[in-house]
Amino acid sequence: MGRYTIHQIPAEEAPPISKNAARKLDHPPGSFAAYHPDPLLTAGIATLPHWDSAARAAEAAIKEFEEQHGDFASRVGWVLQRSESVGSSTIEDVNPSLRRVARAEAVTRGGGNPRDEAANEAIGSIEATRLAAEIGDSRGPITLDDLLAIHAILMAHTSKPEVGGRLRPSWVRVGGVLGGYPPPAYVAPPAEEVPELMDDLVEYINTTNHHPVTAAAVAHVQFESIHPFRDGNGRAGRALVQTILRKGDITRYTTPPISAVLAFNRDEYTDALAESRFKGRAGSPEQAESLDSWVSLFSSTTETSCDYADGLIARIDTVTDKWDKNLRSRKGSTARKVAERLPEMPVFTVQGMAAQLRIPLATAYRATDRLVAAGIVAPVRGKHRGRELFEATDILDVLKAGTEQTEKPGLVPDDPTPQTIDRIASKEEKAAEAIRLRRQGLTLKEVGEALGMSTSWAQVATKDVKRHGKTLRHR
């Protein structure tokens, strides 16, 4: 049965806490409650009748979407993978715009290191999502090594690459202070239980009779309950969803932007995950009821993600139709070939485009000049290693419009210059941490002090923070 256990921190390691804060704790200071999820295969999981119909509705929506857009799978692939990956990063308060991510990708293709840390993390999420889909495509049994590989590529783009692909050796929590105030929102099971729980999760994915959409929902919530890694659990767990959908033949060549839609409803998402942490007998009807909010939300979100993706693709079609009318070059010309690649490569260096199309550099320059003259691409201010970046502004504006609900306006400029990008990344990291601390219940003064910033800065950085659908009152 799922259960909680109380653990005590050694006295010499217990964090200091005021009497007022101590009175707000559910456990004595210096202690914390850890959750132990049931192995999925121990007693099975009772299901509710409407889960299967909801899963089949989501499957039908995906099949219809893939049939409709199958003629340009590569374009769909770029847009959807990045929408999914940036949405997943946004849930974790890593909030780069798709414009910034596309620029960072162009820098990476040029052999450089993006200085925009948040965008670089989002690239890691893109790579993890891509690998997750490839693993699902293999149709073979999923292994623990596969999950470790997804995590390793994700963390390779962060400031902590050394923790990638390794099961955690110690406690891990979500927010808060272990044994102190504010208490963590969640403490995962002890590290020594993780290997066995992960083996059970992998076996469930490979053998379950649940519909793949339901299986993806159950596997994701179990993964998040185990929290097998020191960092990156949310993004790795959402990437795993794409593995299961591919393995179950629900998706064939697209990536439903499920995380992008979940990012619109982040509070509902986190509440549903929390509700699923059942305390009681495994396989009981009560366990199924505790999972219902999450499984139902996941199925409906998967179905809705197809409508969201349809909107993105329709807007891209409108843009490319306009380009086709404005571009005065013959069909089959290099300029048109470059234009055809822009939906999947909206920011590029001429050198990078020449390599992608396998054409001479001089030819790529002439084609780019024609696209600039037609108003299809424009140069980006600043250069990377002497190489100029060009971007298809119309495509980036479409992607921005599709994801604007996931971003936090006012915290980070959408279009930073190369000279200010390091400072912005630092401020963005502080703002993201301020949001986390504010959600955990800290006052504005406490947030500012924790980050070495002023109370007024904390108020601006967290002005749109919400909990359970209500804006927090600034204290």
DSSP, collapsed to helix, strand or coil, labels residue 331 as coil
pTM score of the predicted model: 0.81
Is 446 in contact with 177 (CB distance < 8 Å)? Answer: no
Is 430 in contact with 461 (CB distance < 8 Å)? Answer: yes
Q: pLDDT grade, residue 75 (50/70/90)? A: low
Residue 456 has pLDDT above 60, yes or no: no
Residue 169 has pLDDT above 60, yes or no: yes
Cα–Cα nearest to 13, from 177, 176, 227: 177
Percent of the chain residues topping a pLDDT of 70: 84
Q: Is 314 exposed, middle or buried (0-12, 13-18, 19+ CB in 10 A)?
A: exposed
Phi-psi region at 33: left, alpha or beta (left = phi > 0; alpha = psi -120 to 50): beta
Is 258 in contact with 235 (CB distance < 8 Å)? Answer: no
Residue 172 has pLDDT above 90, yes or no: yes
* Tens digits of residue pLDDT in 377-415: 999 876 555 578 899 999 888 877 655 544 433 323 333
- The CATH homologous superfamily for domain 3-92+112-309 is Fido-like domain (1.10.3290.10)
Residue 432 has pLDDT above 60, yes or no: yes
Sign of CA dihedral 373, 377, 381, 387: negative
- Among 150-159, 264-273, 338-347, the range with the most confident prediction by mean pLDDT is 150-159
| Mean pLDDT for the chain overall | 84
Residue 152 has pLDDT above 60, yes or no: yes
What is the reported pLDDT for 109? 74
* Tens digits of residue pLDDT in 291-331: 999 999 999 999 999 999 888 888 888 998 899 888 877 77
Buried b (16+ CB within 10 A) or exposed e, 81-98: bbbbbbbbbbbbbbbbbb
* Tens digits of residue pLDDT in 89-101: 888 888 777 788 8
Q: Which pairs from 387-391 meet CB under 8 Å and 24+ separation?
A: 387/110, 387/349, 387/350, 387/351, 388/349, 388/350, 389/103, 389/106, 389/107, 389/347, 389/348, 389/349, 390/347, 390/348, 390/349, 390/350, 391/99, 391/102, 391/103, 391/346, 391/347, 391/348
State the Cα–Cα distance between residues 36 and 189, nearest whole angstrom. Answer: 5
- Among 38-52, 97-111, 388-402, 411-425, the range with the most confident prediction by mean pLDDT is 38-52
* Tens digits of residue pLDDT in 333-357: 999 999 988 988 899 989 889 998 9
What is the reported pLDDT for 472? 42
Is 126 in contact with 259 (CB distance < 8 Å)? Answer: no
* Tens digits of residue pLDDT in 247-268: 999 998 889 999 999 998 888 9
User: Residue 33: which H helix or E strand, with range?
Assistant: strand 31-36
Position with higher pLDDT, 62 vs 283:
62
What is the reported pLDDT for 420? 31
What is the reported pLDDT for 106? 82
- Among 154-163, 275-284, 422-431, 438-447, the range with the most confident prediction by mean pLDDT is 154-163
Residue 449 has pLDDT above 50, yes or no: yes
Position with higher pLDDT, 460 vs 181:
181
The pair of three-digit structure tokens given for residue 432, joined into one six-digit string: 């993201």
Mean pLDDT of 148-162: 95
Where do the structural domains in the chain lie, given as residue ranges? Answer: 3-92+112-309, 416-471
State the Cα–Cα distance between residues 170 and 229, nearest whole angstrom. Answer: 9
